[in-house]
């Protein structure tokens, strides 16, 4: 008896199995060898009038006027990139807490309490004498980078007493 085994041409990628001469693709993959990633949305990327699928990444590339993961959202892009975790929302940057401005680049003054007579400095130099464990209410955590410094009248931070 002869054995007939139908192989797949081209061979299936690591995202599919060969069965009766055809690649059976894993979910999320397609193509003759299951080499293309599928994109989200039905139809993919909300159709060709809204976006196209980048089969190498599995991400939608939206056409002008459309946005979101599936290109299904009407999109008014922001003129500049939204910085500091800001999100573009209908052409305007929605800034994260603690930031402001049209591109969220302005750091809003924060009301930190520096301990031991130290004074607040938003951008203290790295070599500044500082108090440690400054509480940041935005992240609900303690910062260790320089934010407070001792005034010139009492320039030395005493680690034992935690005072300037």
Q: What is the pLDDT of residues 87-145, one digit of tens each?
A: 887 778 888 877 889 988 887 765 555 667 766 665 554 444 445 445 555 565 555 55
pTM over 0.75: no
Distance of alpha carbon 145 from alpha carbon 142, whole angstroms:
9
- Listed in sequence order, the residues at least 6 apart from 62 whose beta carbon sits closer than 8 Å to its beta carbon are 45, 50, 51, 68, 71, 75
Closest by alpha carbon to 40, among 23, 27, 49, 31? 27
| Statement: residue 80 has pLDDT above 50 | yes
Tokens of 54: 């980048």
At a CB cut-off of 8 Å and minimum separation 6, what does 13 contact? 23, 29, 33, 34, 35
Q: Is the pLDDT of residue 157 over 80?
A: no
Interval 34-48 mean pLDDT:
94
DSSP 69: T
User: Cβ distance 36 to 14 under 8 Å?
Assistant: no
94 in Cβ contact with 87 (< 8 Å): yes
Q: Which of 102-111, 143-152, 154-163 has the lowest mean pLDDT?
A: 143-152
pLDDT at 35: 93
Three-class SS state of 32: coil
Q: How far apart are CA 84 and CA 104, in angstroms?
A: 6
Predicted confidence (pLDDT) per residue in 16-39, tens digit: 999 988 999 999 999 999 999 999
- Lowest mean per-residue pLDDT among 6-10, 41-45, 66-70, 109-113: 109-113
């Amino acid at each position: 008896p002869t054995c007939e085994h139908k192989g797949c041409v081209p061979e299936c990628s690591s995202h599919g199995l060969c069965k009766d001469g055809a690649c059976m693709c894993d979910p999320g993959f397609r193509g003759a060898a299951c080499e293309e990633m599928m994109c989200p949305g039905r139809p993919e990327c909300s159709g060709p009038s809204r976006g196209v699928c980048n089969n190498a990444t599995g991400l939608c590339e939206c056409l002008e006027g459309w946005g979101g993961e599936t290109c299904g959202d009407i999109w008014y892009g922001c003129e500049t990139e939204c910085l500091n975790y800001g999100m573009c929302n209908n052409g305007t940057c929605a800034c994260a807490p603690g930031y402001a401005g049209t591109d969220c680049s302005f750091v809003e003054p924060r009301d930190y309490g520096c301990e031991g007579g130290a004074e607040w400095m938003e951008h203290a130099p790295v070599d500044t004498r500082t108090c440690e464990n400054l509480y940041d209410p935005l992240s609900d955590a303690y910062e260790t980078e320089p934010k407070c410094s001792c005034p010139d009248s009492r320039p030395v931070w005493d680690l034992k007493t935690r005072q300037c």
